[in-house]
């Protein structure tokens, strides 16, 4: 699980330019989320990584298609 969290944070830090405090806050949130997935039975590190990255992108709003300019037309 720690390997997945490290991989999530390394990838996310490449995508986003944030302060150290924001990075620490994101790490705490994603650790809690990945821990919940792990306790629910998910053991695949790659799947945990993708789920964790998706979770962080949803938190910061970068996964919102409307903000990205998608109108559905």
Residue spans per domain, the chain: 2-60
Tell me the whole-structure pTM to 2 decimals. 0.80
Q: What is the tens place of the pLDDT at every residue in 44-59? A: 999 999 999 999 988 8
Span 11-34, mean pLDDT? 92
34 vs 56: CA distance, rounded Å: 11
Structure letter (DSSP) for residue 64: -
Joined tokens for residue 40: 């629910």
pLDDT band for 64, please (50, 70, 90 cuts): low
């Amino acid at each position: 699980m720690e390997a997945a969290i490290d991989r999530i944070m390394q990838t996310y830090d490449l995508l986003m330019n944030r302060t150290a405090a924001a990075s620490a806050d994101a790490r705490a949130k994603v650790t809690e989320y990945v821990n919940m997935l792990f306790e629910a039975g998910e053991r695949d590190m790659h799947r945990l990584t993708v789920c964790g990255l998706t979770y962080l992108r949803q938190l910061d709003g970068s996964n919102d298609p409307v903000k990205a300019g998608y109108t559905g037309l």
